[in-house]
A = this chain, B = another copy of it.
């Protein structure tokens, strides 16, 4: 299930807001789905930048602690992060705040670089030290080393050197910068709240909650500088071939967001339509694996004419419950999370819509739950193609070997899941939904065709990156 896939970040920036920090916290709440392991903000009052980071949810960070309450300023950036390592880790949380030759600088980053390790090794050779395993620290080193006369040029020069996916915010004492990689892999949008308040966010849902008006996306290769002089736009590189992450539509982004110029909800629905066309089913009802597959399931229902039903209810209290192996049967964990509605499922032929399959183990237990609730037939329809390749641009899959699509054929997977039929939306189906612009997207996790190239790394460096710090 897609909740085994993790985006690494959401970012937010507020310039000149009367209540910049309050607004940023609101915005971070709206971006909570992009990372729940740590949250942080950096705020400038025009003279100095202060930062505050904590493990856990945005609500945990924004508690009325003495230190949090002391933060003040009119420019703020914020970050919410999913830790890719097992153990969470404050030193890897963001924004990172540094002193460098021109004063202070903070960075918040969403995405993943493919030449970070090379750049890092080079800079280490030249005497640099690294305190985190964040790509973001690489940006800061590059900027600090730049000999350009202005900060905007220093940033631009640095961005030219990195390869990979980045939607970035920088905060200096008096300026807010926003930049997006030449391929536009991750979303980033600009909005205004009132005459003097500009905001930048990973998704438009953050603009909505702040009461800001969407202006436009930050363009691929664009570097925007927001200061008292207004909003200035620069190009740090020629625009590359567009490669927006299709998974933002499939699972990551909130359905009420508009990213890459499309409504997430509308596309997720279109995937359901197309899925119904590609893989029809003789069934009594369509149900979804809540909540992320709801929209695709609705799409499937509408296109197929099979009624949509709520057959599984998600238990939102559960959190990180400790369940000992002894507690009930093997399925206790999935039972804690999903409640099958027997009255809906009993004696029915069911289409179960899921947004993606990763390992398949949880889905298998869910199928068994639905079976036990009396379902007559179960037909799984997945609104994305089989995931077969790692993402080097900011998604965190379970270990490559654990991906079921690398170990089993569709038929073997069907048997493993114990369902009557299994159908995935095809890559072509997906492309069809994108209408006139199918080539503007990255489908690498399905196809293995990496538009920005694969990760440049070496075994040794990878070893180094596994170290723990606090």
Residue in chain B with minimal CB distance to A325: B22
B470 & A51 in contact (Cβ 8 Å cutoff): yes
The answer to whether A426 has its CB under 8 Å from any CB of chain B is no
SS class, residues of chain A in contact with chain B: mixed
> With A67-B87, A470-B54 in contact, do A342 and B294 touch (Cβ < 8 Å)?
no
Asked whether A317 lies within 8 Å of B51 as measured between CB atoms, the reply is no
Query: Are A315 and B29 CB-contacts (below 8 A) given A128-B144, A295-B310, A322-B64?
Result: yes
Q: Which residues of B contact A320 (CB under 8 A)?
A: 59
Question: How many Å from the CB of A308 to the closest CB on chain B?
Answer: 6
**Complex Cα–Cα for A291 and B312 (A):** 12
Beta-carbon contact of B131 and A97 below 8 Å: yes
Q: Which residues of B contact A291 (CB under 8 A)?
A: 313-314, 316
Instruction: Tell whether A5 is near chain B: CB-to-CB under 8 Å.
Output: no
A100 B124 Cβ-Cβ under 8 A: yes
CA distance in complex: A211, B369 (Å): 11
**A50 interface contact, C-beta 8 A:** yes
Tell me whether A470 and B90 are in contact (CB under 8 A): yes
Interface string of A128-144 (1 = CB under 8 A from B): 11110000000011001
| A342 and B67 contact, CB distance less than 8 A | no
Q: CA of A163 to CA of B464 in the docked complex: distance in angstroms?
A: 32
Complex-state Cα separation, A59 to B327, whole angstroms: 14
Interface segment, A224-232, A332-340, A359-367, A407-415? Answer: A332-340
Q: Is the CB of B463 within 8 A of A48?
A: yes
CA distance A224 to B457 in the complex (A): 36
- Quick one: closest B residue to A258, CB to CB? B342
Pair A319/B265 contact, Cβ less than 8 Å: no
Chain B residues with CB under 8 A of A466: 48
Q: Taking the full assembly, how many copies of this chain does it contain?
A: 4
A70 within 8 A of B: yes
Q: Nearest CB to that of A106 among chain B residues?
A: B469
Q: Among residues 112 to 140 in chain A, which have CB atoms less than 8 Å away from a CB atom of chain B? A: 120-121, 124-131, 140
A328 / chain B contacts, CB cutoff of 8 Å: 19, 22-23, 26, 209-211
Asked if A52 and B470 make an inter-chain contact with CB atoms under 8 angstroms apart, the answer reads: yes
Please name all residues of chain B whose beta carbon is closer than 8 Å to the beta carbon of A319 when the two chains form the complex.
Answer: 57, 59
User: Shortest Cβ distance from A407 into chain B, in angstroms?
Assistant: 30
Assess the A53–B470 pair: CB atoms within 8 A: yes
- Asked if A343 is an interface residue, CB under 8 A from chain B, the answer is yes
Q: A141 is contacted by which of B129, B298, B342 (Cβ under 8 Å)?
A: B129
A295 and B310 CA atoms in complex are apart in Å by 7
Which residue of chain B lies nearest to A133 when distances are taken between CB atoms in the complex? B99
A57 to B322 Cα, complex, angstroms: 13
Indicate if the CB atoms of A70 and B87 lie closer than 8 Å: yes
Checking B209, B308, B322 against A298 with a beta-carbon cut-off of 8 angstroms, the contacting residue is B308
Supply 8 A–B pairs (Cβ within 8 Å), ascending by A. Answer: A29-B317, A29-B336, A32-B317, A96-B131, A100-B124, A256-B341, A291-B313, A298-B309
* Given pairs A19-B327, A99-B131, 5 additional interface contacts (CB within 8 A): A32-B318, A50-B468, A99-B130, A129-B144, A316-B316
Closest 5 CB pairs of A and B: A127-B145, A263-B343, A22-B327, A98-B129, A101-B124
